[in-house]
Structure 1
Amino acid sequence: MNLDEKLKKRQRLEISYYPTEYIIRVLLLQKYILIPISKTSITPNHITISSLVLIVISFLAIYNHFALLAGFLYICYSIFDHLDGMLARYKDLRSQFGSYLDKVVDHIGFNGVFIMAYITSYISLFECCLAIICMNLHRTICPHYILKNLRKIKNIKRFGVKKYFLDRGFILGVDASLIVILISIGLIFNILFFICYFLSFLFLLDLTYRLFELRCNLRHDNR
């Protein structure tokens, strides 16, 4: 099976995407970048390390108050973050080290940007802590509690506006791509303080909705 056939098969399997994830993965990477990269000797770990370099340079740009450059580099980091995992799957180069490295880079990228923004006075200590706490609560509870329990339910029932979008192939929620885009907008337009509040609200809203959905499914499954 050639790479083009793999891409089509993978896209059929992944019938639902977050809107921002769809734009980056399907419309950008799969269409223009993944196939040329796959024909080179570049490995997923090379891309992951490159994404770490982009993060470090982005942090240095924040520290030196080059906000526009920092925002652009942060978006590039997100593209690389998607690309390493996609390349690993399509070239069958997945490894424990690669997975661990990717997680470490993500933790540095998502938490470090708020810390660096606080150090350079783009945001207050309260705004920094609020964003980090809400983000990590969401990233911990959703996969380790909500999704873990949903997988035990045979027939999952979806509700409200999320069901409407899911029926049309899109997942409505807060994914890594959306976080990066909002942070980049905050840096570029010097409104990162507002993004901290807005992101925190989205994290808590999405978490509340998912917990409600889980509770409803558990009740329905126990009948």
Structure 2
Amino acid sequence: MDLDEKLKKNERLENKRSYYISEYIIRVLIIQKFILLPLAEKTNIKPNQVTITAGIFAFLSLVALYNHYAILAGILYLIYHFLDNIDGMLARYKNLSSKLGHLLDNIVDILSFNGAFIVAYLAYQVSIFSIFFVIFAMNLHAVICSQIIVKKLRTLKTVKRYGVKKFFLDRGFILGIDPTLLSILIILSFITECFTFFFYLIGLIYLFDLLYRSIELYRNLKENDV
């Protein structure tokens, strides 16, 4: 088994190797090439230790944001995101995945992503509607895609992709929003302090992706006569 196959996320619907574009840049071109192997082979660091450290950096980022150190907040959030990628990759590489680690990682992610929007509202008086919109869209997408769309597609004999998503998937890339793209947009909102613009943009991307995937599910159900 090669390294790419070993590090592949098990929850992906596609059997073949595929990445979100932003994920490929961070995980494959940077972390996998320059960070993972030295960390795994030359240290005794455990995945849960990385997850806890990621949570600390996320907390420090939100503290910095609350105190209007926007650029520092962006840098700290970027470190959090790198660590958030590293913990799962390290767990798969060392075969140390666990339910506790998965739960801990989910808790840190939920608090870090939702906390970024809430702290921005508290510190910069961002429009409450934009905050509600992005949090609603993000969590609605997470629930419906993971609990309904993906589960339903897994029950079908064949799954087809359509349009621009098929074009990218045929080339090994998943078109949509993932935690890496979300983190990049959050970091840009911190650094530029254009919170309202980026929060509406994130929410719209989530809703568009949810609509696209819902249509895709509907077409696959018709193709499979379900």
Q: Tell me the equivalent position of 2:22.
A: 20
Q: Tell me the equivalent position of 1:29.
A: 31
Equivalent-residue separation in structure 1 for 2:158 and 2:141 (angstroms): 24
Q: TM-score, normalization: structure 1?
A: 0.95
2:7, 2:89 within 8 Å by CA — same for their partners in 1?
Answer: no
Would you say 1:123 and 2:126 are equivalent positions?
yes
Identity across matched positions, percent: 47
1:17, 1:171 within 8 Å by CA — same for their partners in 2?
Answer: yes
Compute the displacement of 1:202 (Å).
0.3
Q: Tell me the equivalent position of 2:6.
A: 10
Q: Tell me the equivalent position of 2:176.
A: 173
Equivalent-residue separation in structure 2 for 1:46 and 1:195 (angstroms): 31
Would you say 1:209 and 2:205 are equivalent positions?
no
Task: Let me know the Cα RMSD of the aligned residues.
Answer: 1.4
Q: Could you report, residue by residue, the CA deviation over 1:66-118 in whole angstroms, capped at 9, with x for unpaired residues?
A: 00011111111111111000000110111111111000000001101100000
Would you say 1:195 and 2:198 are equivalent positions?
yes
1:6, 1:90 within 8 Å by CA — same for their partners in 2?
Answer: no
Q: Could you report, residue by residue, the CA deviation over 1:114-170 in whole angstroms, capped at 9, with x for unpaired residues?
A: 000001125221111111000000111111100000001111111000000000000
Equivalent-residue separation in structure 1 for 2:29 and 2:164 (angstroms): 24
Where does structure 2 lack aligned partners over 5 or more consecutive residues?
Answer: 9-14
Inter-CA distance 179–47: structure 2 relative to 1 (3 Å threshold) = same
- Among residues 54, 69, 73, which one is paired with 1:70 in the alignment? 73
Equivalent-residue separation in structure 1 for 2:164 and 2:63 (angstroms): 40
2:6, 2:92 within 8 Å by CA — same for their partners in 1?
Answer: no
Q: Tell me the equivalent position of 2:117.
A: 114
Residue type of the alignment partner of 1:22: Y
Equivalent-residue separation in structure 2 for 1:64 and 1:101 (angstroms): 27
Q: Could you report, residue by residue, the CA deviation over 1:24-69 in whole angstroms, capped at 9, with x for unpaired residues?
A: 1110111000011102110000100000000110011011100001
Q: TM-score, normalization: structure 2?
A: 0.93
Residue type of the alignment partner of 1:7: L
The DSSP-based 3-state class of the residue aligned with 1:76 is: helix
The DSSP-based 3-state class of the residue aligned with 1:182 is: helix
- Among residues 77, 101, 104, which one is paired with 1:101 in the alignment? 104
**After the TM superposition, which parts of structure 1 deviate over 6 Å for at least 4 consecutive aligned residues?**
none
Compute the displacement of 1:8 (Å).
4.4
Equivalent-residue separation in structure 1 for 2:60 and 2:219 (angstroms): 45
Equivalent-residue separation in structure 1 for 2:26 and 2:191 (angstroms): 20
Inter-CA distance 11–50: structure 2 relative to 1 (3 Å threshold) = closer
Inter-CA distance 222–20: structure 2 relative to 1 (3 Å threshold) = same
Compute the displacement of 1:10 (Å).
2.8
